[in-house]
Amino acid sequence: MTDNPYLTHLDEKGVARMVDVGAKPDTERVAVAAGTVYMKPATLALIQQGALKKGDVLSVARIAGIMAAKKTSELIPLCHPVALTHLDVDLTLDSAANAVRIVASARTTGKTGVEMEALTAVSVAALTVYDMAKAVDREMRLGDIRLLEKHGGQHGDYISEDK
């Protein structure tokens, strides 16, 4: 049904499957993803001041992102479990955009990449920011979640043009 070599999660009949990576060599793999939580200026000020009742938003979101990345294969059905050798989640306040910017960097040495782990870390960190601040701002928007770069593997390096 499909003869597209890029749709590796589909078999020859178009049925979803987990890709067999057993024959691939172990290589160092790195992925960096980013996203943004947009909010009202007053919400950003409360986060900056540490004045939200639920606590330190940035620290909790950082830990949530790290925990989520480690569970990516449990959340994404065809994703392989990956032994992360490093994961960093950085959250910064952007007063000009009234936003929290999130960047996650994942690293492993293995047979498959860590793009999904980096993207999952960003997504869950963003959801955690929303959860912790929703009592004061239900209009927050999560956006711009994307892969910024990846290194390693048979498809080589990727660096986003809108980094």
CA distances from 99 to 38, 65, 71, 145, 161 (A): 4, 17, 26, 13, 22
Task: Give me the residues paired with residue 91 across strands.
Answer: 102
Q: Is 58 helix (H, G, I), strand (E, B) or coil?
A: helix
Please indicate whether residue 56 is annotated as part of the active site. no
Separation between Cα atoms, residue 12 and residue 49, nearest integer Å = 55
Strand order in the sheet with 158-159: 86-94, 99-110, 27-38, 141-151, 158-159
Q: Which of 11, 26, 90, 131 is catalytic?
A: 131
Please compute, for residue 107, the number of CA atoms within 13 A of its CA located in the half-sphere on the CB side.
7
CB-CB neighbours of 132 under 10 Å: 20
Cα separation, 48 vs 38, in Å, equals: 14
Query: Could you give the residue numbers annotated as active site?
Result: 131
